[in-house]
Amino acid sequence: MTSMSSLNALRTDKRMVIAATVIMGIALAVLPFIIGSGLGNSWLRILNFALLYIMLALGLNIVVGFAGLLDLGYIAFYAVGAYLYALLASPHFGLHLPVWVIIPAGAALAGIFGALLGAPTLRLRGDYLAIVTLGFGEIVRIFLNNLNAPVNITNGPQGISGIDPIHLGGFTLAKPISLFGFTLPSLHAYYYLFLALALFIVFVTIRLENSRIGRAWVAIREDEIAAKSCGINTRNIKLLAFTMGASFGGVAGGLFAGFQGFVSPESFNLMESVMVLCMVVLGGMGNIPGVILGGILLTILPEIFRHGSGPVQVAIFGKILLDPEALRMLLFGLALIVVMLYRPAGLWPSTTRRREFRGDSTNDVLKEGE
Amino acid sequence: MSSTLLEARAIDKHFGGVTALRNVSLTIRQGEIYGLIGPNGAGKTSFFNVLTGLYHPDGGELIFAGEKLQASAPHKVAKLGIARTFQNIRLFGNMTAMENVMVGRHVRTHAGVFGAVLHDRRTTREEAAIRRRAEELLNYVNIADRADDLARHLSYGDQRRLEIARALATDPKLLALDEPAAGMNGTETASLRELIEGIRKDGITVLLIEHDVKLVMGLCDRVAVLDYGEKICEDVPSLVQKDPKVIEAYLGGSIA
Amino acid sequence: MDIFIQQIINGLVLGSIYALVALGYTMVYGIMGLINFAHGEVVMIGAMVALTVIKLLANSGLPVFIIILLALAAAAVVCMAVGFSIERIAYRPLRHAPKLAPLITAIGVSIVLQNLSMLIWGRNYHAFPPILPTSAHDVFGATITTLQVAIVLIATLMMAGLIVLIHRTRLGRAMRATSENPSIAQLMGVNINQIISITFIIGSALAAVAGLMVSANYSIAHYYMGFMLGLKAFTAAVLGGIGNIAGAVLGGILLGLIESLGAGYIGDLTGGFLGSHYQDIFAFFVLIGVLIFRPSGLVGEKVSERA
Ligand SMILES: Nc1ncnc2c1ncn2[C@@H]1O[C@H](COP(=O)(O)OP(=O)(O)O)[C@@H](O)[C@H]1O
Ligand SMILES: [Mg+2]
């Protein structure tokens, strides 16, 4: 009897999942049209950036959220992906390689950078690792800024412009695409491409999380000594986390370069690393939906403040009293503080997910204060 | 007489001025339950840490199943077949009991990133086997009903059992338990004793640090006593109990 | 002019400032195990406040010495209040939260302070009014200005004072006890909250002094100046062995020397391939090198993790 009803529950569960997936799919498919017509192209661009940030946040989540390694220089891998694209597909060197070569190459190169950074530093204690990765991020940025002389590789602070837009199968995403009498605007086309890759990264992350490797990452985060004693080669597994996380960053970076058509060192400063870290922690470290939420919120929130801080001032004071840019970041900083004070484990932490899932309400008195 | 499984030769370990282990040699035979006792601070846990590669010994060597153990390589030690528990339980608190045991299978399985992402036949089969084995082990230590609870939500006794299950998941030849009965009540200790006996029956050699004298004396085939980092005695329990040096070490015979 | 000696002098001046700021990081880290990410911004606030006071009083006819002192007092008071509030608002409620939570609030505070400063003082660079003596002295073929001498002297005095405070007073003993083991210190009757507040206040006062020094030394201040400075100073603290007072001093001075010597000679060293704009890289290369070969810093004790 019980087995019958649980079987039924399972069936309804499955149906629910399929229904939810279909609804989600439709929503994601029509989203750019709603946003494009409702809020205009600038918000559509923001939506595309949100997708890039989701990829970054998911990559960093592997390092910080799963493996528990604090990386403050993550944006360097985004930079590696972006500059590789810029160098291989722009007038700068006169190279115009196709995107299906560059993006995987960017992922691989960023992964190699991840391993290079990780190899000597992974045995460092948490805070030291944080500061070394931060230093690494700055080193990469300083080199990008200065590698224009004596040989001009990165074109220095001016950055590289005129980067080829992404081409797919004979179409360039920079112009509206006409297919079967239907025209897809450029921003929409980029949206679908980014969405596809973001979903792919979500898929890879979920698969990894529920695997032997993913468990080893979390085990290291939870207790490195116990993990070692279980036979986990912690150095290699951490290195793998760095490499995987970095390669996601490389993919996002390549897409960014193609989308933006321009890269410069300023896009890859420490504040960007910090921003991605905030997405991971504020969203809910280690929890994939939480991290996605963090990515969306922290992309959109500063933009809302940006669009709001001028007009609202005009409405209240009749003129702009305070520098809107400063005001927007000020509000953003306050939001970070407030959210962390009220939800120190993030907005959507993995433990609540589990608890909600299993209706488990035992409290943690046992290990509290250890 | 059965064969030697572990041989420790003249192990030394210092921490600054403190000598945790001095010239400790002992041999553990295949299939026995070997007790390691001694007052607090005698160096028992340090011996475990050296044995399992967490600490680098300052002198001496360890031979396990005919192979020299490499210092400071805990994962290799696990691979060779030594598993352990910790005096102050070290579980993966935010993983479920099930996942904790599944982590224990890490060292006997192979799936990498590609397998994990692609879910090829080998990986799915391996993953299913990991899950099956973890379920068996949770059953074996009698906490199958807590499989989906976070490890940190388990009761103290269950956490001890879970740690044993996780250690067993590595398919050890030698299982080293650091004060498994600490903080347990009488009934819990009795069932722990059954569990350890069962483990030995399954052919796994057990090295046991324990304060509970009754448990040690009833369970162990042989016992070594450490005091201030030195082995002062090694014998069958009944003789160890009568050794004057041991009685002295325990301050006037609280052991007898 | 002797470049080597000149770079040593510049390095010592820069290093003294790094050391003062590094002390703030290291004291907080020693007591709470927390990277006070916002500390660099406190330095910036100190510079801005001091500069504002100096600008106000520049034409008042008061002696320069008095103006500087007043500026310093104002900066110190504001910074101490800011430091105290940061701890109360952003760190104290999170003392038992997951480890990364206070790091995020610290970043939040940093962003808030930076932009608050931008709102108050604008985005532009502020020039330091030319009230300071510009006399220069000749040392072994290099020049050192009165200002530079003053910076090194004052920094040295403050550090000496801090060391006396920590090693010779009741308060210092309580601070050391707290950093050794907070729960035991509490059992012994130390008011941990108070000690932590005092630590932030002292660190912020040092930051105020450092803020005035940097802006005087470079004749400039702006809302973004705290960031790189904070980063370098933190690097210096880690270099010396974070949590260790003497280490912060040593790390700061070393970093200052390495940077200015590096900037002076990198061109020659790399055959002109890398120029002096790579100055900022040194801090990080040195840091990474030190941490790889001596993970606990130069002075830090080797901590073996207990299994
Ligand atoms: N990581 C360590 N650092 C410093 N001293 C240690 C460390 N581990 C153990 N010791 C010291 O070594 C001695 C033996 O400790 P331990 O092996 O834990 O004893 P037991 O387990 O027999 O109670 C004690 O004096 C202890 O303080
Ligand atoms: Mg012990």
For residue B90, the CA-to-ligand 1 centroid distance in Å is 17
Q: Which of A150, A282, A333 sits opposite C273 (nearest CB)?
A: A150
Residue pair C238/C65 in contact (Cβ under 8 Å)? The answer is no
For residue B210, the CA-to-ligand 2 centroid distance in Å is 9
* Alpha-carbon distance A127 to nearest alpha carbon in chain C (angstroms): 8
> What pLDDT was estimated at residue A3?
53
- Residue A227 and residue A193 in one domain: yes
Residue B81 CB neighbours (<10 A): 20
Structure-block tokens of residue A111? 């992964």
Residue pair A280/A64 in contact (Cβ under 8 Å)? The answer is yes
Is residue C1 pLDDT above 60, yes or no? no
In terms of Cβ atoms closer than 10 Å to its own Cβ (0-12, 13-18, 19+), residue A156 is middle
* Alpha-carbon distance C25 to nearest alpha carbon in chain B (angstroms): 29
* Residue A320 placed within a domain: no
Pairing of strands B174-178, B82-84: parallel
- Residues 265-304, chain C, touching B (beta carbon < 8 A): 304
- Residue A105 and residue A248 in one domain: yes
Displacement of CA A227 from its chain's centroid (Å)? 27
- Residue A82 and residue A121 in one domain: yes
* Residue A197 placed within a domain: yes
Structure-block tokens of residue A222? 């939870």
* Residue A73 placed within a domain: yes
For residue B45, the CA-to-ligand 1 centroid distance in Å is 7
- Three-state DSSP at C105 gives helix
Q: What is the pLDDT of residues C21-70, one digit of tens each?
A: 999 999 999 888 888 989 999 999 999 999 999 999 988 889 988 999 99
Residue A24 CB neighbours (<10 A): 10
* Alpha-carbon distance A201 to nearest alpha carbon in chain B (angstroms): 10
User: Do the chains contact at B152 and A367, CB–CB below 8 Å?
Assistant: yes
* String of DSSP letters for B33-59: EEEEE-STTSSHHHHHHHHTTSS--SE
Cα Rg of chain C, angstroms: 19
- Residue A28 and residue A55 in one domain: no
Q: Which of B75, B150, B159 sits opposite A228 (nearest CB)?
A: B75
Digitized pLDDT (tens) for each residue of chain A, 370 residues in all: 445 556 666 677 788 888 888 998 898 888 888 888 888 888 999 999 999 999 999 999 999 999 999 898 999 999 999 999 999 999 999 999 998 999 999 999 999 999 998 888 777 777 778 878 888 898 899 899 988 877 889 998 999 999 999 988 777 888 887 777 777 888 889 999 999 999 999 999 999 999 999 999 999 999 999 999 999 999 999 999 999 999 999 999 999 999 999 999 999 988 899 899 999 988 988 899 999 999 999 999 888 888 887 788 888 887 777 888 888 888 889 988 998 899 888 898 876 444 444 433 333 322 323 2
Residue A31 belongs to what domain range?
A: 1-38
Angstrom distance (rounded) from CA A315 to CA A305: 15
* Residue A337 placed within a domain: no
For ligand 2, a single-atom ion, the residues with CB < 5 A are B 45, 87
Nearest to C180 by CA among C162, C192, C170: C192
The three-state DSSP-derived secondary structure of C253-271 is HHHHHHHHHHHHHHHHHCC
Residue C307 near chain B (CB below 8 Å): yes
In terms of Cβ atoms closer than 10 Å to its own Cβ (0-12, 13-18, 19+), residue B63 is middle
Which of A237, A262, A286 is at the close of a domain? A286
Q: What is the pLDDT of residues B36-92, one digit of tens each?
A: 999 889 999 999 999 999 999 999 999 999 989 887 789 999 999 999 999 999 999
Nearest CA, atom 12, ligand 1: B20
Angstrom distance (rounded) from CA C35 to CA C38: 9
Which residues, in sequence order, are bridge partners of residue B224? B36, B234
Residue B15 near chain C (CB below 8 Å): yes
In terms of Cβ atoms closer than 10 Å to its own Cβ (0-12, 13-18, 19+), residue C73 is middle
> What pLDDT was estimated at residue C261?
87
> What pLDDT was estimated at residue A367?
31
* Residue A115 placed within a domain: yes
Distance between start and end Cα atoms, chain B: 29
- Chain A residues whose CB is inside 8 A of the C116 CB are 326, 330
Phi, psi of A11 (to 5 degrees): -65, -50
- Residue A5 and residue A120 in one domain: no
User: Do the chains contact at A222 and B95, CB–CB below 8 Å?
Assistant: yes
| Chain A residue whose CA is closest to B100 | A219
* Alpha-carbon distance A211 to nearest alpha carbon in chain B (angstroms): 6
Residue pair A132/C295 in contact (Cβ under 8 Å)? The answer is no
Residue pair C13/C256 in contact (Cβ under 8 Å)? The answer is yes
- Ligand 1 site residues, Cβ closer than 6 angstroms: B 15, 18, 20, 38, 40-46; C 304, 306
Angstrom distance (rounded) from CA C113 to CA C44: 9
CA angle centred on A263, ends A262 and A267, rounded to 5° = 130
> What pLDDT was estimated at residue C35?
85
Structure-block tokens of residue C253? 């001075």
User: Do the chains contact at C108 and A124, CB–CB below 8 Å?
Assistant: no
Q: Which of B18, B37, B177, B216 to mutate to test the pocket of ligand 1 (most atoms within 8 A of CB)?
A: B18
Q: At B202, which amino acid appears?
A: D
- Residue A213 and residue A269 in one domain: yes
Overall number of domains in chain A: 2
- Residue A206 and residue A73 in one domain: yes
Nearest CA, atom 2, ligand 1: C306
- Three-state DSSP at A198 gives helix
* Residue A19 placed within a domain: yes
CA angle centred on C123, ends C122 and C129, rounded to 5° = 75
Q: Which of B11, B15, B44, B179 to mutate to test the pocket of ligand 1 (most atoms within 8 A of CB)?
A: B15
User: Do the chains contact at C284 and A136, CB–CB below 8 Å?
Assistant: yes
Structure-block tokens of residue A322? 């305070």
DSSP structural state of residue C277: G
Residue C212 CB neighbours (<10 A): 29
Mutate to test the interface with A, among C288, C296, C302 (most CBs of A within 10 A): C288
Residue pair C109/C124 in contact (Cβ under 8 Å)? The answer is no
- Residues 5-24, chain B, touching A (beta carbon < 8 A): none
**C273 confidence band (pLDDT: 50, 70, 90):** low
| Chain B residue whose CA is closest to C301 | B16
> What pLDDT was estimated at residue B253?
47
Structure-block tokens of residue C218? 């470079």
Higher pLDDT: A101 or C301? It is A101
> What pLDDT was estimated at residue C255?
92
- Residue A97 and residue A151 in one domain: yes
* Residue A348 placed within a domain: no
Q: Which residues of chain B have pLDDT under 70?
A: 1-2, 251-256
> What pLDDT was estimated at residue A306?
82
* Residue A235 placed within a domain: yes
- Which helix (H) or strand (E) segment holds residue B133: the answer is helix B121-140
User: Do the chains contact at B150 and A351, CB–CB below 8 Å?
Assistant: yes
Angstrom distance (rounded) from CA A351 to CA A343: 13
> What pLDDT was estimated at residue C137?
86
- Chain A residues whose CB is inside 8 A of the C118 CB are 323, 325-326
Nearest to C9 by CA among C135, C138, C134: C138
User: Do the chains contact at C307 and B15, CB–CB below 8 Å?
Assistant: no
- Chain A residues whose CB is inside 8 A of the C235 CB are 131, 135
> What pLDDT was estimated at residue C276?
62
Place of tokens 């993983």: B95
Residue A270 near chain C (CB below 8 Å): yes
- Residue A14 and residue A159 in one domain: no
Place of tokens 């007489």: B1
In terms of Cβ atoms closer than 10 Å to its own Cβ (0-12, 13-18, 19+), residue B79 is middle
DSSP structural state of residue A361: -
- Chain A residues whose CB is inside 8 A of the B110 CB are 212
- Chain C residues whose CB is inside 8 A of the A320 CB are none
| Chain A residue whose CA is closest to B55 | A225
Strands (E), chain C: 126-127, 136-139, 142-145, 220-221
User: Do the chains contact at C115 and A335, CB–CB below 8 Å?
Assistant: no
Place of tokens 């006794």: B157
Residue B251 CB neighbours (<10 A): 9
> What pLDDT was estimated at residue B22?
95
Angstrom distance (rounded) from CA A168 to CA A166: 7
- Residue A176 and residue A74 in one domain: yes
Displacement of CA A94 from its chain's centroid (Å)? 30
Please report, to the nearest 10 degrees, the dihedral formed by the alpha carbons of residues A104, A105, A106, A108 taken in order.
Answer: 90
User: Do the chains contact at B54 and C304, CB–CB below 8 Å?
Assistant: no
Angstrom distance (rounded) from CA C8 to CA C260: 7
- Give Cβ neighbours of residue A185 (< 8 Å, ≥ 6 apart): A36, A176
- Residue A249 and residue A229 in one domain: yes
The number of the ligand nearest the C-alpha atom of C303 reads 1
- Residue A21 and residue A115 in one domain: no
Q: What is the pLDDT of residues C120-149, one digit of tens each?
A: 999 899 998 888 887 888 888 888 898 999
Residue pair C178/C27 in contact (Cβ under 8 Å)? The answer is no
User: Do the chains contact at C307 and B54, CB–CB below 8 Å?
Assistant: yes
Residue C258 CB neighbours (<10 A): 20
- Which helix (H) or strand (E) segment holds residue B60: the answer is strand B59-64
Please report, to the nearest 10 degrees, the dihedral formed by the alpha carbons of residues B162, B164, B170, B171 taken in order.
Answer: -130
> What pLDDT was estimated at residue C18?
96
Place of tokens 């007898």: B256
Angstrom distance (rounded) from CA C79 to CA C46: 6
What is this model's ipTM? 0.94
Angstrom distance (rounded) from CA C240 to CA C242: 6
> What pLDDT was estimated at residue A5?
58
Angle between helices A270-284 and A126-146 (to 10 degrees): 140
Angstrom distance (rounded) from CA C196 to CA C33: 11
Nearest to A263 by CA among A111, A19, A80: A80
ω into C130 cis (within 30 of 0): no
Phi, psi of A60 (to 5 degrees): -65, -30
Residue pair A241/A63 in contact (Cβ under 8 Å)? The answer is yes
Angstrom distance (rounded) from CA B83 to CA A321: 67
- Chain A residues whose CB is inside 8 A of the C291 CB are 121, 124, 128, 132
